[in-house]
Amino acid sequence: MTSTISILGTGGTIASTDETGGAKPSKNSEALVEAVPQLADYVDLDVREIAQRPSFDMDIPTLEELRQAIEEAVEDGSDGIVVTHGTDTMEESAYYLDLTLDVGAPVVFTGAQRRPDEVSPDGPANLVTAVRVLTDDQIRNSGGVYIAFDDELHAARDVTKRHTRKLNAFNSPEKGPVAVTTRDAIRWYREPGSYSVTLDGTGEPSDIDVRMIKSGVGVGGDQIEDALDAGVDGIVVEGTGLGNTTAAVGNAIEQAVSAGIPVVVTSRCYAGSTAPVYGTGGGGQTLSNYGAIHGDDLPAQKARLKLRLVLQHVDEASQVRPYFSSYETE
């Protein structure tokens, strides 16, 4: 059994109450743990507060503070880490840490869709799930970052929030959960561990600017042109289908690549990977011919974080492509 688990709080719905006409994070991590006495049946707990903010306002400096706290907790002897976090951007924060952490202990994010002051809050059960999986021998030495929610454990690289309010908020399209918990067991469906490339970071928030642009019916290239005028370092385009855009967006992508700005093309589809197929204006093959990089099955929000970190990691924009050339490149 895992001897010590650190619980690091960052706020979110799991820590929020509505006392003034709008929900805000108000409960600290000690209060969340005290509300679930069953947690002490599994492990010794070390509880720390990192932030108190809604995840829709999460930022890179806070994630770097969280990363440092995780590294310190592992150095101090923690065998696993639970991060309580809001659900809106939980998948992004988990993926960011999966890309940047180099620790042997596993990290499990969890949270809630219902606040503690609502009927049938789901936070306590999700906390139990997160702690339970960290006591299992199969995950203890695997490392990696995960999301535990509604009795399921998902890999950070693959998971996404699938519903705004339902309790089974998360899913891993085409991949499925790494494990599920039952009343008396943990059933493993995939090998635990990180499914992400590890990128050496500086440890400090950078000023690299990567913009997200969305294509759709009748969308022009002005957003990309504005980004270029602003001096961005990279662009992620959320295309349609296999990674296609309007001809106008495609023309703007050509301008960006010609200016030395890496452009990663993703898809707005819930599942599936991009592929260079269509040769018309804005078609995926045309964008590839321009020099755009296809982002495989990463959603735009994760591709943005990865491109941002890759640009910290490489010396030249021309070195970006291999990091997006397959499911994940070591």
Question: Largest Cα–Cα distance of the chain, in whole Å?
Answer: 61
**For the structural domain made of 4-188, what CATH number should be given?**
3.40.50.1170
Nearest-Å Rg of the Cα atoms of the chain is 20
* Mean pLDDT in residue range 214-239: 97
| Topology (CATH) of 210-324 | Rossmann fold (3.40.50)
SS3 (DSSP) at 67: helix
- Which range is least confidently modeled, 5-9, 101-105, 294-298? 101-105
Among 233, 229, 225, which Cα is nearest to 208's?
233
Q: CA-to-CA distance for 110 and 306, rounded, in angstroms?
A: 22
Q: CA-to-CA distance for 29 and 10, rounded, in angstroms?
A: 8
Does the pLDDT value for residue 21 go beyond 60? yes
Domain boundary assignment for the chain: 4-188, 210-324
pLDDT one-digit tens code per residue, 285-301: 999 999 999 999 999 99
Q: What is the DSSP letter of 12?
A: S
pLDDT one-digit tens code per residue, 246-265: 999 999 999 999 999 999 99
Is 13 catalytic? The answer is yes
Given 2, 10, 13, 246, the catalytic residue: 13
Residues 6+ apart with CB under 8 A from 118: none
Strand partners, 84: 9, 110
* Mean pLDDT in residue range 2-19: 91
**Burial state string for 22-59 with b = 16 or more CB within 10 A and e = fewer than 16:** eeebbbbbeebbeeeeebeeebebebebbbbbbbeebe
Given 84, 87, 266, 274, the catalytic residue: 87
Is 266 catalytic? The answer is no
Q: CA-to-CA distance for 203 and 313, rounded, in angstroms?
A: 12
The reported pLDDT for the residue numbered 308 is: 94
